[in-house]
Amino acid sequence: MEIFGAGGAQGPQPIYPRLAPFSVDAGNTVHAGAPRDQVEISPLGQMLDGISRLPEIRHERVEEIRRQIAEGTYDTPERLELALDRMFSEILG
């Protein structure tokens, strides 16, 4: 005697219907039935990403500039002129 199953029961069945197989062709067209993902990056995440792209801080240079400011030797007319030129170049393009 051979037993092939429990009276026609088909085993576990999915709760949700199956979607069509997901595939993307060379033109990046998503085929019907494929789920779409969407990602939103918060303003804080965008800011942190921007910070991570900044160059490293040169601590020795920062300390040297602080010392010059404290001694009153940092603010010279030449440095002020250079800073203004750079600022206007950025603003005016």
**Mean per-residue pLDDT over the chain, rounded:** 82
Among 22-31, 34-43, 56-65, the minimum mean pLDDT is found in 22-31
Report how far residue 27's alpha carbon sits from residue 45's, in angstroms, rounded to the nearest whole number: 31
Mean pLDDT for the stretch of residues 43-56: 92
Q: Which of 65, 63, 60 is nearest to 76 (CA)?
A: 65
- Domain definitions of the chain by residue range: 57-92
Contact 81, 88 (CB under 8 A): no
Band of residue 18 on the pLDDT scale cut at 50, 70, 90: confident
Q: Is the pLDDT of residue 67 over 90?
A: yes
Q: Is the pLDDT of residue 6 over 70?
A: no
pTM exceeds cut of 0.85 = no
